[in-house]
Amino acid sequence: MGYTSFPPLEKPPATMICPRQKAAFPRLRRLAVLALALPLLACTGDSDDDDEAAAPAPAPVLSSIKLSLLGRYATGEFGVSAAEIPAYDPATRRAFVVNAQKGMVDVLDLSNPAAPTLVGTLDASAIAAGAEVNSVALHDGIVALAIQAAVKTDPGFVGLYRADTLALIGQVGVGALPDMLTFTPDGKTLLVANEGEPSDDYQTDPEGSISVIDVSNPAAPVARIADFAAWNGREAELRANGVRIYGPNASAAQDLEPEYIAISADGSTAWATLQENNALARIDIASATVTAILPLGYKDHGLAANAIDVSDTPPAIDIAPRPGVLGMYMPDAIAAYSAGGQTYLVMANEGDARAWGEDDPAYWAGDASRGFVEEFRVKHLSRTNGFAGRRGDDLPPQLDALAAGALLNPVTFAWCGATAGNPGACRDDAQLGRLNVTWTMGYRTDSSGNPVMFDTSGAENPAGNRLMYDQLYAFGGRSFSIRDASGNLVWDSGGEFETYLASDACRVGPARDIPCKTWFNSGHDEGDAFDSRSDAKGPEPEGIEIGTLGGKTFAFIGLERMGGVMVYDITTPTAPTFVDYFNTRADWSTADPSTVLSTVGDLGPEGLKFVAADKSPNGKPLLIVGNEVSGTTAIFEIEQIFQ
């Protein structure tokens, strides 16, 4: 028998031998025939030799995010709220944007988010003649609209539509002036805030409420009402707890006005901001019951961390502590998220004064039945010769009936020159004079809530006719806050917004090339308006949205007046950090922005919608922003920065 001779095997270079091959090599020399099988002995990575196994590459960690302008849809309408609240449907790649100027919802195709196009509208007139759409929400292809009746104090409606065909599916009646609405996470329930604002002349004042709507069968939605009737007769108790109940002759149910709603991750609990009341309502969704009214407290602007600019005259950046001035948080938008097994509430502290009948000459002529305006400048409140000089101008008749004038506490306001019976320099424009405050709070009262009267010398005197203001209450917190499920303050951004806008680090414009401080506290509907909003509510944070990226939670806060979006990392609720600010207003110097509407950019962000990458039309996370003054819907791309 013949034999085939094999050449001697040569040991391969050490760099070519994996652990399993190395162990097998001596045996292969003795069993030459198995040389043919040598290539089959692959390195499978399951060696017991841990020292020689390659370590896996570390996963990238998200360190930050940055906004950039991707696309924009423009209605061509200025100052008429032609783009307010956005929603997004991933299946159709459509954005649904409330156009209050039309009273409808614009439907935008975002298949190419760099170039949104109008493809249709949702018109609520089929539900009720003269009806207008106030807000929109979307879940799993169902679009929900909050629909205001032609007479806003009448009960409104919610309409449900298909996102693909725009066909009406079902409708249901709700309370007066339905505004913000939102689905529970499972999509089976829809909640709507029925604000219940009074008529402009304050002759009709409907009750506020929250409608809890079963939409498991969208063709036949069923609504229940979570109302505030249980607090009627308990107005004094609410006031003592810090809830603002102050409308003329209003019951608690009439005075409480739900604005915006957030829902817990498990869908069991909701919270509604009661903006004008500086409070929250907590709602048990299963029973459709308001279980608590939670006061939000006040922000001490006398602290350095809460410093603010309070004057627009002369125009200047003057951020400083103001002892005796308290901010009413008065949040507009609210959102909920979970951290460490707990629910936290994130709020944009806009502030909003009651102002009804302000365009009625009869009200300013002294007819208190024709309206109610609570806003008043400090310089007019503290006139040494009393209120009479403001009659027929801006003096609310309710204040005129309360006293002949008012004083500033000389101890609290000694820092700006107040003395007994004289406000001193406190009422100067460069000090507190220009600041708008509420006259309804801050003056000294007795145990029954009646004002304690003083004479013109500053002495307490039952026969006197002067109020004594121990504190002044300004509108809004000029910040955003994080609170726990019971409404307790966990964290607040303090004076960070105004401080950053006044810093050298801040830049505005699509290219981020315009110094923010050049246009500090500008208004959204006027050009060349440096410092014009400092006497009111500053940058005025209004909209808020939450997004999760790379295991982190981010808050996006729209600044209504200054414009743009602030971004914070709120992963740790007790220690949020600033991440980015992006403002796409391009023209800041033209006196009338409406004359450069095609190039001015975005003015007055109202509503924001985060779109996760796996839902996005281009596979990247987006932020959709409705801008009510410029009538534009901006599409921001969110760049993720990894380390």
Q: What would the pLDDT profile of 588-612 be if each residue is shown by its tens digit?
A: 999 999 999 999 999 999 999 999 9
**In this structure, is residue 107 part of a structural domain?**
no
Measured between alpha carbons, how far is 147 from 144 in angstroms, rounded to an integer? Answer: 9
**H or E element: which one contains 406?**
strand 405-408
Statement to judge: residues 415 and 561 lie in one domain: no
Residues 346 and 486 in one domain: yes
- Clarify whether residues 451 and 539 are in a common domain: no
Per-residue pLDDT at 12: 40
Please count the other Cβ atoms lying within 10 Å of the Cβ belonging to residue 207: 21
Confidence of residue 16 (pLDDT cuts 50, 70, 90): very low
Average the pLDDT over 511-532 and give the result.
Answer: 96
Residue 535 lies in a domain: yes
Residues 6+ apart with CB under 8 A from 282: 269, 270, 271, 290, 291, 292, 293, 294, 485, 487
Please indicate, yes or no, whether residues 280 and 317 belong to a single structural domain of this protein.
no
Residues 308 and 225 in one domain: no
Q: For residue range 217-237, list pLDDT tens digits in order.
A: 999 999 999 999 999 999 999
Q: CA distances (Å), 13 to each of 16, 28, 40, 447, 469, in order?
A: 5, 16, 18, 95, 91
Which pLDDT score is estimated for 25? 38
Please tell me whether residues 284 and 307 are part of one structural domain: no
59: confidence class by pLDDT, cuts 50, 70, 90 = confident
**Domain annotation covers residue 264:** yes
How many domains does the chain divide into? 4
> What proportion of the chain, given as a percentage, has pLDDT over 70?
92
**Type of residue found at 422:** N
H or E stretch at 300: strand 298-300
Kindly report the CATH number assigned to the domain that includes residue 254: 2.130.10.10
Structural domain contains residue 96? no
**449 belongs to a structural domain:** yes
Lowest-pLDDT choice from 124-128, 460-464, 490-494? 124-128
Q: Would you place residue 47 in the very low, low, confident or very high pLDDT band (cuts 50, 70, 90)?
A: very low
> So what's the pLDDT on residue 52?
54
Which pLDDT score is estimated for 454?
Answer: 98
pLDDT at 593: 97
Does residue 11 register a pLDDT over 80? no
Tell me, yes or no, whether 257 and 395 share the same domain.
no
pLDDT at position 249, please? 85
- pLDDT, tens digit, 9 for 90 and up, residues 69-97: 999 999 999 999 999 999 999 999 999 99
131 and 279 assigned to the same domain: yes
Is 60 exceeded by the pLDDT of residue 533?
Answer: yes
Q: How far apart are CA 348 and CA 43, in angstroms?
A: 58
- Which domain-ending residue is among 474, 493, 509? 474
Distance CA(327)–CA(325), nearest Å, equals 7
> At residue 326, does pLDDT exceed 80?
yes
Is the sign of the CA dihedral 607, 613, 616, 622 positive or negative?
Answer: positive
pLDDT band at 56 (very low <50, low <70, confident <90, very high): confident
The verdict on residue 310 lying in a domain is yes
- Same domain, yes or no: 533 and 601: yes
pLDDT range class, residue 41, cuts 50, 70, 90: very low
Q: Is residue 575 within 8 Å of 491, Cβ to Cβ? A: yes
Lowest pLDDT segment from 248-252, 451-455, 555-559: 248-252
List phi, psi (to 5°) of 605: -60, 130
Residue 303 has pLDDT above 50, yes or no: yes
Burial class of residue 444 in the structure, from the number of CB atoms within 10 Å of its CB (0-12 exposed, 13-18 middle, 19+ buried):
middle
The 10s digit of each residue's pLDDT in 209-218 is 999 999 999 9
Rounded CA-CA distance 210/288 in Å is 8
What stretch of H or E contains 178? strand 178-183
Q: Which of 403, 349, 354, 413 is nearest to 378 (CA)?
A: 413
Among candidate residues 453, 474, 495, the one where a domain is terminated: 474
Domain that holds residue 11: 1-48
- Give the residue-averaged pLDDT of 250-279: 98
> Are 454 and 488 contained in the same domain?
no
Reported residue count of the chain is: 643
Measure the CA–CA gap between 333 and 318, rounded to whole angstroms.
28
Report if residue 563 sits inside a domain: yes
Q: Note the pLDDT of residue 159.
A: 98
In this prediction, residue 57 carries a pLDDT of 82
Q: Which of 450, 474, 498 is the last residue of a domain?
A: 474
pLDDT at position 223 is 98
Burial class (CB in 10 A: 0-12, 13-18, 19+), 204: middle
Is residue 102 domain-resident?
no
**pLDDT value of position 53:** 65
Do residues 453 and 512 share a domain? no
- The reply to whether 483 and 470 lie within a common domain is no
**Distance, C-alpha 143 to centroid of its chain:** 21
Q: Give me the amino acid identity at 259.
A: E
pTM for the full predicted model: 0.91
Paired tokens of 443: 């003056």
pLDDT digits (tens, 9 = 90+) for 349-402: 999 999 999 999 999 999 999 999 999 999 999 999 999 999 999 999 999 999
